[in-house]
């Protein structure tokens, strides 16, 4: 059975409270096994009989909506994909080291050419972007609070649903749950 990671958008922010034990129960009720949560921001590791990520995401979204009363966009990646995201070199090591923040946006699907152009038009002295498949890497040269860029502006530019995670969260997930990581 595939080992998957679900990234839920906007969990435990803005009054959208989701207790992690309850979230694990909802995933188990869907028939998923080896369910774990990783930090309280909506990262869930699990196994599923199916490998159809889009169908799994739809099932999770419906279950979360029914259980918690609000929409939560869900993005599924395999453990192998998360390892690839963590290891991808979107920017030079020197640029990353000097950055105030380095994040990855997980997208529902790869952006089209028009979406990519719209995203690149958002580059500033503070913000730089790099697209790679279903991910956008965002390098913020200052603190994120100094930037006008947000998940909302990303989705507006691309016309695709997305969720942001710090690269350190992705790297920690990969180290613990990636294909070579320790699995609980």
What pLDDT, on a 0 to 100 scale, did the predictor assign at position 75? 97
What pLDDT, on a 0 to 100 scale, did the predictor assign at position 176? 80
Equal fold, 3-78 vs 83-177: yes
Give the C-alpha separation, 104 to 163, whole Å. Answer: 8
Domain ranges of the chain: 3-78, 83-177
Give the C-alpha separation, 121 to 129, whole Å. Answer: 10
Q: Is CATH 3.30.70 correct for 83-177?
A: yes
Q: Is 27 left (phi over 0), alpha (psi -120 to 50) or beta?
A: alpha
Interval 73-82 mean pLDDT: 95
Strand, coil or helix: 2: coil
Q: Which two tokens stand for residue 54?
A: 């889009």
Specify the CATH number of the domain 3-78: 3.30.70.1280
At residue 109 the predicted structure's pLDDT band, cuts being 50, 70 and 90, is very high
At residue 184 the predicted structure's pLDDT band, cuts being 50, 70 and 90, is very low
What pLDDT, on a 0 to 100 scale, did the predictor assign at position 175? 86
């Amino acid at each position: 059975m595939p080992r998957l990671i679900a990234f839920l958008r906007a969990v435990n922010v803005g009054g959208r409270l989701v207790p992690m034990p309850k979230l694990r129960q909802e995933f188990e009720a869907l028939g998923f096994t080896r369910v774990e949560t990783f930090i309280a921001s909506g990262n869930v590791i699990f196994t599923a009989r199916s490998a159809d990520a889009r169908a799994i995401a739809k099932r999770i979204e419906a279950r979360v909506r029914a259980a918690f009363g609000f929409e939560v966009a869900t993005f599924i990646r395999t453990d192998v994909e998360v390892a690839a995201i963590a290891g991808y070199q979107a920017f030079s090591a020197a640029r990353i080291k000097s950055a105030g923040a380095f994040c990855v946006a997980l997208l529902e699907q790869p952006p089209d050419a028009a979406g990519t152009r719209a995203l690149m038009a958002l580059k500033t002295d503070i913000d730089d972007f790099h697209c790679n498949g279903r991910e956008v890497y965002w390098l913020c040269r200052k603190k994120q609070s100094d930037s006008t860029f947000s998940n909302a502006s990303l989705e507006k530019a691309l016309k695709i649903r997305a969720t942001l995670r710090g690269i350190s969260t992705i790297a920690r997930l990969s180290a613990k749950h990636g294909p070579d990581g320790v699995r609980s």
